[in-house]
Structures are given as structure tokens and as C-alpha cells.
Chain A
């Protein structure tokens, strides 16, 4: 297969929920690009947007790919909208009530919303869609998980629905705000239910754009939905999109995507790799938009259940013995920022106090290793204890799963740790063995990130119930009553003060116990022509084309 550098694999990359992936896109996530606020938007025009990953399935209820959600966000709306601060705003639901036990959510639906095939959006449509997501034959890889302990949807009247769960389920509003719980026209589901993954006109939603055509390997085409009048209240404008047409080109090669942008053949290119950022910056006809991705930063996750990392002193040495400022600057040219917390600064309840709290400190790292008894050195210069060398295994998955030049960063980390006498080995494993070993707790170190606009991602990482063998992500394998309690509390409350408190404490404790070494904040870097205005990103860093327009 073509190896083309640090780009995500379709599947992997995508896992929204997770992933290790480059989401994509984005502006500052808070509003229109600065220059466009002053000018009067131009109606019409056709915009071409080049991206690197092509959806495997366009079916939002099936796909676990980030790119599927990002593209289909233009076609499908959700019940609620999550704003840049993490709060929830009305969208297709004008209001909602949450049952006191968090087991039911009753939504009052907005009047006058229509699918682009003319079918009205009503309570029945909500039921049909949610029931489709959990149906076995849908084989949902992601959306069904978002519905959690779903038991059913009850149509109370044509504009009121009650969604019920078998146990308290606080994350539901966030889930309901994602494109994966968007709504297909019930008519489209009935007539084309099995073919929705193929994209094109069969995918009928209520969104600002209509999916008019798809050519695999090349492009997807969209046209404006002229009846659209139900954007969330914080959108820059109400009513239909400014653009007549939107074309998404799939250009997997970084150099080709960047070349298409610099030669004016596309107006937006996403992502721009760090090595190409300067090319774009120096071109007066182009601009960059950088957005920090939400969720868990790319980090080294230390397996606390495996010696010698069961010793907190050794973990501390790893955490403090890596010269991250230098390493990240040399690999990513100031495009990606060094991370300080397990979660990124754009994630709600990010704890700013962690910044600069654990800088590179070679002496402290060496002292910690001395204290842990790793005092002897062997011929190769590595520390030993009782004749055993201090070796940590950090496996590499197959090359196609490695992106963002993480392998290069890994070499810098290996070199740093060698200086304090720790040997890091990086055997290349096939993907089956990799998953088996890492999820089975056989390795010392794992590395991943997890995109999600919710600090509940901390529960995935540090709650002892979140076992990798059961679909969880806690590869620290650490069992800690406080971490469990705090992350469970955060999951089951909407009280902002409580959430802020427990999530701050969780971030601090995870760093204090050296369970994790946050490396860098994943940043979506998009390049666009100066003719493009009003381009915004939602909290997932996905581009929103509803407010975008092309200047003359």
C-alpha cells in the first residue's frame, strides 16, 4: 500500500470515539474567522475541499470513522447542539427534560423541520432512527455504543418523544449532539436502509446540504438545501447555506493535497502536515486555521501492573526524563504544542494549573531511579538492578497505523530515556499481536490519543472498570478508588461545579501518580484560500460549511 507519511488510516483514524485521529479541521471553534465578520457574505459559488481520508461507509449509524461524521455533519442535524464551552443548545429539539433518575430524556421537537425529500421531521422519525441504530442488522460500530443502555423511544405526540435507558445515562445529551445520532428520513431508511453506507442521494437528512453524488476514490458532491432554516442559535446566520455547491475531494497524498491548494484547484485543504505549514504560511493567497482537538492528548500510557513500571519512582523517571519541549519542537516545528494534562486545553474542565508543573528534569529523573534501586550500570550504559537491565517495551503497530510522525517522536523519546539509563525497545508487531499484547497488559508502554469533546474521556483512561479487554481504554491497568469515584461522579451529574472539581482532581492525580506522560496536543491544521470566509469548526474540530462563503 502506498505509505504516505503520517496520515491516519481510514478505520483507525477514524474512530471517533476514539481515535487516534486527525479530526480534521477547524477554525478557532468559537466563531467565524476573524476577517469575515466585517464583510457581507456573498451568496452562491462552489467550494472544493480536499481531505485525506475517505469514508469507508457513509452510514452515520454504522461508521466509527471520524471523517464520516465530519462530512455527514453537513447533511444531518442532531437533537441538540453542543457549543464551544461544552453546553447544550436547542437544535432539532427546542427543549428537553431529563428524568430525575437520568434514565429518561423527553424532547420537544422543533416545528416545521423537513427532510430534503419532503418528509416532515417528527417524533416518529426520531424513534425510527434510534431503533435502527440498535437493531442487530444495522451492525453499528459506533452509534449503538453512543446510545448506551437504550431501551426504547416512545412517541408521546407528533412533536414529543421520550428516550429511555435501563440505567442512569448522563452522557446522552453529548451523544445526541454528535452527527452519529443524526436523523435519516424514515422514507430513506425504508427504501434504502441497506444502501445508506454507499453515500449519494439515498442519504436524505435535514441538514444545510443535500448529498447529491459520490464517486469512490475521487469526490463527494453536495448542494445547498434551499429550505434549511433550523441552524443552532449560535450559527453566524440563519437560513440556507451561502454556498450553492460543496465538493469534497479525497486526496490522500500530503504533497498532492497541499499542491492542489497552492495551485488554487481546491479552496480548502485539510490537514496540512506540520512540514508543509510554512509553505502555506508564506503564500499571501492562503491562510491557516489551527484548532486544538478535544479529548485525550497523544500520550504514553504506562502499564502500572507490569514491573518495573509498578514502581512509581520508575514511572516518575520516565515522565520527567523526556525533553518534550525540544523533541516536539524538532519534530513538529511549533505546530503542535506540548501537552501538560491527559486532556487537551479545548476539552471542558481542562486543568490549567498543570501547565509547567512537571518540566523536563534529568536530575530528578536520575534521582528517582537511584531511589528505586536501579543504581548499577551495564556495559551499554543502561541501569541495572540485581543484574537485570532496566528495559521497557513499547511496541510499534504496523506502519499504516502510525501517523503524525509519531515514530520519529518515539526515537527522540528513546534517546532521551537512554541518557538516564532506561532502555526502550520498540518491536514492530502485526496488528493482531499488537492489540492482543497492549490490551492484554503484556507491554510496558502504549501510546494513543482519544478525540472526544467531553472530560468523561478521563473515565475511559483511568477508571478501573474501563478495561481494554472489555472495550475500555485504561491501559494503565491502575486500580484506584479515588480515580474510580471521581470519574463515576463526573459521569452521572450535570452539576458544573462538581464536574470541574472531580475532573481537575482526576487530571492532577493521574499526572502525580505518573500513570501517563502527555506528549502533545493534537492540532487540526487547515489551509484555505483567502477567498474563503466564515469557515468555522465545531467542538470536534469538524469544519462547518453552513456559514462559509466565497469572496469574489
Chain B
């Protein structure tokens, strides 16, 4: 691939622009998270302790003072941004540990699960799309039906179904945990299934569009085998739209992981998010919001850069 217009300064400028945008998104997310928490009706400490607490007003006042919740909102906001700027996410109200530590401890199993699911989804979507693109007949219909089912079934339900079949009945896989690879299989499949469905549909559509283009005819007339046309030419075209989607889906894996992790009793961000939101642990929730913003921003930058590699036409701009 020649890259005549891809100069180093241009690349740097592009990257700098994207990083500035990313920073703006992060500050925006932090601000929205802060505002949302201010808008929760009721006194934050009361909400945090929940109904049915035996905490006296004195204890509540003490907690309020210790977290600076008795200060004006603007002061709280500036303090909050200041702390974030120094990388300090604060301390969890409920667990009384630094939020950064809590998230750090739980990140690895979720990343492992998300990567495994993404890998599974990409490979199976690619295989399904290549096998069915441009074909007619029962194989194609069966493929479409399977995709539709995978896309429209809630992952929560898929998880229970898989567990019932493969863990409770057949007893092939353990119910949960991250003890070894066998425990990763069911959660990864659960998380991957809906992604596979979406990706396979988009890929096949892209492939079929590309196969209808004049360049396909040219390639075929040069004597290239249909498989070679599919892999070498059509796939590159189809990949662009699938890539955008993959970026978005990878981000959404984080949300999916929350559900899947709690169904399977796996450690990870899911367990943390569940606890953080149900106990209204604001610093923890803010930390998790920032984490997902960071993931989305990073992925969208990565996807932008990947486009440049896939589609030479984009490099001219």
C-alpha cells in the first residue's frame, strides 16, 4: 500500500486534535456525572444509607462533613474537578477505599471477558458472513434467522439458558467464577452472541454490496477465483462499516459485562457497578462513568486510526 499523503506532521496534528477532543469528552462526562448526582432528589447521605438505616442525624452530619457534602455545590464541583485533574478519583463512601484502587482491582477479569467475547464475536461473525454472503437458499435463511435470534435475545436470558444446559444439566462448565479458562467459556459466549449477530449482518451486507461493485467484475474478469475476490477485495470494503460498529460494540461490552458478570457470579467491573449504583456510592459511580467514557474515547481514536490503514482514500484529507 502506498502512502503518499500520510506525512508525519499531518498524523501528529490529527492525533493532537483527537486527543483534545477526547479530553473535552472526559471533562463533559465528569460534569454530567456530577450534575446527575446533584439532581438525585433527597439528601445524598440519606439516599446513600437508604431507607431503614439506624444512623442518627449526628452520624449523618459527620459523614456529610467528612465528604465535604456540606459545602456549596460550586465549591464541591471545583474540588471535584481539581481532584480529577490530579488523577484522584476520591474514596468510595461505602467501601472506604480509593476508587482508583477498587476499579484497578476489578478491571482485569472484565477486560479478559470483553476481549474473549470480542474475539469470539469477530471470528464467528466473519465465518458466518463469508459462508453466507452472496448465497441464496436454506443456508442463508438459517444464518439470518440465527443472527436475528442472537441479536434480539437479552444476554441475561442467554446466560441463564446456557447455564441451565451446560452447567446445571450437562455439567460441562462450572457455574461461575474465573478459576480457569473453562469458567470463561459460558460468559464469553453469552456476551459474544448478540455481537456476533449484529456484526455478521453488517459484514454480509457490506460484502454483498462490494460484490455488486464494478471492481468485483473487473477482478473476476482478471481470472481471480470467487473466494479470492471475497477475501482480497470485498472484505476490505465491508470491513470499514464493520469497524465502526466494532468500536462502538467494544465500548458497549462494558455495559453487557455488568449483566453477564452478575448472572455468572464473576468478579469484575460488573459486581462493582452493581454495588456502586444500588448503594448510591457516588465517587464510585463517577469513577465508573469516567472509565467508560475513557474506554469509548480510546476506542473511537483507535478506530479512526485504523480507518486510515484500511481505506487509503481517507488519508488525503
Contact = CB atoms under 8 A, between A and B. Distances in A.
- The yes or no verdict on A and B being binding partners is yes
Interface of A: 1-2, 4, 9-12, 15, 17-20, 54, 56-57, 59, 62, 64, 136, 139-142, 144-145, 194-195, 197-198, 215-219, 249-253, 255-256, 259-260, 262-263, 265-266, 397, 400-401, 430-436, 438-439, 448, 450, 469-471, 473
B271 interface: yes
18 contacts: A2-B258, A2-B259, A2-B263, A2-B274, A4-B262, A11-B279, A12-B51, A18-B53, A20-B51, A145-B54, A217-B106, A218-B271, A250-B271, A431-B42, A431-B280, A432-B40, A432-B41, A432-B43
B51 A434 contact: yes
A144 B175 contact: no
A372 B50 CA distance: 37
B268 A145 contact: no
A56 B50 CA distance: 14
B215 interface: no
Given A144-B59, A197-B97, A255-B160, A1 B265 contact: no
Interface string B248-288: 00000000001101111111101111110111110000000
A201 B40 CA distance: 37
Given A15-B53, A219-B177, A249-B177, A435 B47 contact: yes
Contacts of A263: 167-169, 171, 175
A432 B42 contact: yes
A54 B281 CA distance: 15
Interface string B52-73: 1111110100110010000000
A217 B175 contact: no
Most A-side CB within 10 Å, residue of B54, B59, B94, B267: B54
B163 interface: yes
Contacts of A262: 168
B247 to A, nearest CB: 25
Contacts of B279: 9-11, 56
A357 B266 CA distance: 49
Interface residues of B, number: 61
Given A18-B53, A262-B168, A265-B167, A256 B176 contact: yes
A59 B273 CA distance: 20
Nearest to A214: B267
A141 B106 CA distance: 25
A507 B57 CA distance: 28
Nearest to B170: A263
A479 B169 CA distance: 58
Contacts of A19: 52
A131 B264 CA distance: 40
Closest 7 CB pairs of A and B: A432-B42, A217-B271, A432-B41, A217-B267, A259-B168, A11-B279, A263-B168
Contacts of A265: 167, 174-175
A356 to B, nearest CB: 30
Contacts of A197: 95-97
B265 A217 contact: yes
Contact of B265 (A11, A252, A431): A252
B281 to A, nearest CB: 8
A38 to B, nearest CB: 32
A18 B52 contact: yes
A218 B265 contact: yes
B41 A433 contact: yes
Most B-side CB within 10 Å, residue of A218, A219, A253, A266: A218
A64 B49 contact: yes
Nearest to A264: B171
B41 A217 contact: no
B156 interface: yes
B54 A11 contact: no
B105 interface: yes
Contacts of A145: 54-56, 59
A194 B275 CA distance: 20
A256 B265 contact: yes
B55 A12 contact: no
B176 A251 contact: yes
Given A19-B52, A255-B160, A256-B175, A431 B266 contact: no
Given A256-B163, A470-B56, 10 more contacts: A17-B54, A141-B49, A144-B59, A217-B106, A217-B265, A217-B271, A218-B265, A250-B265, A252-B262, A256-B175
B164 A401 contact: no
Contacts of A439: 51
Contacts of A251: 175-176, 265
A136 to B, nearest CB: 6
Given A256-B263, A259-B167, A263-B167, A141 B55 contact: yes
B95 A57 contact: yes
Nearest to B269: A217
A110 B185 CA distance: 51
Contacts of A216: 105-106, 267, 271-272
A36 to B, nearest CB: 27
Nearest to B275: A56
Contact of A471 (B50, B54, B264, B270): B54
Contacts of A10: 275, 278-279
B178 interface: yes
Most A-side CB within 10 Å, residue of B59, B109, B258, B277: B59
A255 B164 CA distance: 9
B56 A253 contact: no
